[in-house]
Structure 1
Amino acid sequence: MTISRLASIPGIGVDKMGNAADAADAAGGNAEMLRLENLDTDIAPPPDAVEATLAAVSRDNANSYLPFLGIHDLRRAAAARVSDTTGINYDPETQCIVSAGGLSGILNVLLATLEPGDEVIITDPAYAGLLNRIRLAGGVPKLVPLQVIDSGWRMDLDALQNAASNRTRAVLTMSPSMPSGIVHTPEEWQAIADIVQRCDAWLIHDAAMERILYTDAPVFHPARLDGMAERTITIGSVSKEYRMIGWRVGWIVGPKKIMNDIGLVSLTNVVCQVGIAMPGAAAALLSSNDGVAEATAEWKKRRDFILEELSDLPVVRPDGGWSLLIDTAALGISPDIASKRLFDQGRIAATPMVGWGSETNAGRYLRFVFANEPVDRLHDIRERLRVSWSV
């Protein structure tokens, strides 16, 4: 019997696609499989981060539970990073906690801010892992659909207004968001801030990809808006921008009034972070050669190549992030069937967005992650889709 907190939590699909691709690889003859199913990248982490991590492996103080809320160098670096982005001076000792990855940080924040039945506004589509963490924390996701306008994504602001209620406890944002790649406009951010203030709610902001932008717009942080500094909790990580997926290091930065509760959840949940990983994360944040701009330029080339190759198909342009979505329902193929055909006939592993929002919106799409495959391996992607889908 499934216990109640898991009853409404589906899987994320990525694990099944990844396992299938790994199994095909183990069986041999899988060199031509395009791995577009998972948020990995082939671009190396910052050299400073690797060097610091290797040095930490042999140090006693990196092989310790202490300090429970994260090493001081990393807390200072993370607080400084968020301070620079927001223009708010965050104290690293009272306003920053290190988490075992960004998603662990988000779960800890949700557990510290939600009562059972509280509602959390989030976009549709959204990462299934975020939706499921809301549910795991006892919350109820309230979906706000993203609309396709001029081949890109925009938030339905009327639906945003309608999603708010007296049960709204938080708005969970990500910009660029995953899987859509939407980058919120100033108008959208202001509408979100208005809802947060009207509902006396929290803005829980996942900033894991905030610098992976393909537009000319600068990074914008919602804590900069009037009245939002005391309502915004920021969660960051080294996984995406710094290409440090395996380190599992993130940070939570927010107002003093909530950080003690988040710290209590952190101590009760994961207890502490990966000791040998934190020095590398601190080095990445402090590095003068973090490689984010160069990596973003490379990811943009891959995005642009796919958009050009698939320009005759219903692909939605992402303005940031690592992935894009194709509306297979518009082609008369459900995304799960499209994924299976693509795997079997086109040798592409791609994840259907079932469970990543509503059936009528997110459930139309198949996701392509372009962060892990260089352009020279993507050269025949249009032909692979033709063979698989007859389009």
Structure 2
Amino acid sequence: MVSRLRHIPGIGVNVVGNRADAAADSSMLRLENLDTDLRPPRVAVERTRRAVDEDEANSYLPFEGHSELRAAVAEHVGRLSGRSYDPDRECVSVAGGLNGILNALLAITEPNDEVVLADPIYAGLVNRVRLAGAVPVHVPAVPSGQGWRTDPAELAAAVGPRTAAVLLMGPAMPTGAVFDAGHLDALAGPVNEHGAWILYDAAMERIRFDGRPPVHPAGHPALTDRVITVGSASKELRMIGWRVGWVVAPAPVLADIALVGLTNVVCQVGIAQQAVAAALAAPDADSDVAAATAVWRERCELILAELADYPVIRPDGGWSLLVDTASMGLTPADASERLFRRGRVAATPMDGWGPSGSGYLRLVFANEPAERLRDLRSRFDAAF
């Protein structure tokens, strides 16, 4: 194995997902993968169908993304952040959000630079930091009855001379934790002192269960020129298979990120870009996301009620929540195995999802309707 892969484990989701697929058991609850059964916006589906017959959609060009998509993205990010972006110089399309994260990391980090991020956090983010040759520095999120919280002072203290970026996500995967203005206030000084970037994963920023608008780092006056926003159509718009994302950032660094993109994936799915542009620009775009979020919140609350006697941590948003299996005297792998065999529930252990991940099991509530979740307590009881 080459050195860059030595500290990159898998993410576990594929192992559990493949096993569940092989079981071919329709009674099994599929809580292991970030899929959703909620349909994408109708305008996006209709626009995709039309694109199949359009010659310009069957093209490599333009490499940076179709102009309509970049215009819609720049307006979307500008509206949420309060900062104006030039779609031609400060926005590029990418093949999904994580492609954008990796492109940005390759553009802003030198080998052995540090990237500050939460713990626990999505293994795919940690692994991309390592793949870029950088070093992840984790700041713990602390669980409580009210959810997960990261101390702003601890987050700021993690930024130092070797820090290339602070990777923020809110709601975060897999915890559903959010950050607030206090975190940005704390970061402003050290980020500017050390010339670091805020790498903001905006994939779920509007999927908040408190009804509040996103807290966008580029809206902070002391951070606005140090923020790289990476977004995706996969979560909020439920357009997973379209594989379209974007990166929005100040022009000088965006040029470097675009160069990485040309050297990496080159271009995005042609027949998908106009559909994403239409979904972002639709008059009912916000209400569409809000309606989907209400469904996901209902399912989350149902799981929390079903598992009230189990150590489950409430998320602030997103598509998943965590079970503290360590407090149950089990590794998450053991808990996953028991649920699979005895409860017919597929759930992913969080090994590799940050230093504390080895104490938690993830439940995804985005892909199973409420009527199938109502016996979750009996399934857990059968397993444990």
Q: TM-score range by the shorter chain?
A: over 0.9
Amino acid at match of 2:3: S
Alignment of 1:355 with 2:371, yes or no, is: no
- Residue number among 265, 268, 278 corresponding to 1:270 in the alignment: 265
1:158: how far off?
4.4
1:199: how far off?
2.2
- Residue number among 334, 337, 360 corresponding to 1:337 in the alignment: 334
Partner of 2:249: 254
Q: In the alignment, is the contact (CA less than 8 A) between 1:335 and 1:353 conserved in 2?
A: yes
1:96: how far off?
0.3
CA distance in 2, matches of 1:13, 1:156: 29
Alignment of 1:75 with 2:79, yes or no, is: no
Q: In the alignment, is the contact (CA less than 8 A) between 2:107 and 2:256 conserved in 1?
A: yes
Gaps of 5+ in 2: none
1:56: how far off?
0.5
Partner of 1:323: 320
Partner of 2:57: 62
Q: In the alignment, is the contact (CA less than 8 A) between 2:153 and 2:186 conserved in 1?
A: no
Q: What are the superposed Cα offsets for residues 256-301 of structure 1, whole Å, 9 maximum, x if unpaired?
A: 1101111110100001111011111111111223421110000000
- Residue number among 290, 293, 297 corresponding to 1:293 in the alignment: 290
Q: Counterparts of 1:140-289 in structure 2 under 5 Å?
A: 140-289=135-284
CA distance in 2, matches of 1:179, 1:96: 27
Alignment of 1:380 with 2:375, yes or no, is: yes
CA distance in 1, matches of 2:9, 2:207: 29
Partner of 2:97: 102
Q: Counterparts of 1:6-85 in structure 2 under 5 Å?
A: 6-25=5-24, 30-85=25-80
Segment of structure 1 superposing worse, 153-162 or 242-251: 153-162
Q: In the alignment, is the contact (CA less than 8 A) between 2:117 and 2:136 conserved in 1?
A: yes
Amino acid at match of 2:89: T
When residues 151 and 313 of structure 1 are mapped into structure 2, their CA distance, relative to the original with a 3 A threshold, is: farther
TM-score (normalised: structure 1): 0.96
User: Could you say what secondary structure the match of 2:268 adopts?
Assistant: coil
CA distance in 1, matches of 2:326, 2:376: 19
User: Could you say what secondary structure the match of 2:56 adopts?
Assistant: helix
Total equivalences in the alignment: 382
Q: In the alignment, is the contact (CA less than 8 A) between 1:193 and 1:222 conserved in 2?
A: no
CA distance in 2, matches of 1:192, 1:321: 24
CA distance in 1, matches of 2:157, 2:270: 44
Partner of 1:4: 3
User: Could you say what secondary structure the match of 1:230 adopts?
Assistant: helix
CA distance in 2, matches of 1:347, 1:191: 45
1:161: how far off?
3.8
User: Could you say what secondary structure the match of 1:312 adopts?
Assistant: coil
1:212: how far off?
0.4
**RMSD (Å) for aligned C-alpha atoms:** 1.0
Segment of structure 1 superposing worse, 88-97 or 212-221: 212-221
TM-score (normalised: structure 2): 0.98
Q: In the alignment, is the contact (CA less than 8 A) between 2:147 and 2:315 conserved in 1?
A: yes
CA distance in 2, matches of 1:13, 1:198: 38
User: Could you say what secondary structure the match of 1:277 adopts?
Assistant: helix
Gaps of 5+ in 1: none
CA distance in 2, matches of 1:50, 1:159: 44
Q: What are the superposed Cα offsets for residues 169-205 of structure 1, whole Å, 9 maximum, x if unpaired?
A: 1000101101000011221232233332232100000
CA distance in 1, matches of 2:192, 2:323: 35
Q: What are the superposed Cα offsets for residues 324-383 of structure 1, whole Å, 9 maximum, x if unpaired?
A: 00101101111000001100110000000000000xx22110000000011100011011
1:153: how far off?
0.4
1:308: how far off?
1.2
Q: What are the superposed Cα offsets for residues 39-91 of structure 1, whole Å, 9 maximum, x if unpaired?
A: 00000000100011010011110000000000000000000000101111100
When residues 221 and 161 of structure 1 are mapped into structure 2, their CA distance, relative to the original with a 3 A threshold, is: closer
CA distance in 1, matches of 2:117, 2:193: 16
Q: What are the superposed Cα offsets for residues 228-280 of structure 1, whole Å, 9 maximum, x if unpaired?
A: 11100000011000000000000100011101111110100001111011111
Q: In the alignment, is the contact (CA less than 8 A) between 1:127 and 1:178 conserved in 2?
A: yes
1:312: how far off?
1.6
CA distance in 2, matches of 1:161, 1:183: 16
Q: In the alignment, is the contact (CA less than 8 A) between 2:11 and 2:123 conserved in 1?
A: yes
- Residue number among 122, 142, 158 corresponding to 2:117 in the alignment: 122
User: Could you say what secondary structure the match of 1:129 adopts?
Assistant: helix
CA distance in 2, matches of 1:150, 1:239: 29
CA distance in 2, matches of 1:203, 1:185: 14
CA distance in 2, matches of 1:306, 1:165: 40
CA distance in 1, matches of 2:248, 2:160: 26
Structure 1 consecutive aligned stretches of length 4 or more whose deviation exceeds 6 Å: none
Q: In the alignment, is the contact (CA less than 8 A) between 2:38 and 2:292 conserved in 1?
A: yes
CA distance in 1, matches of 2:373, 2:320: 14
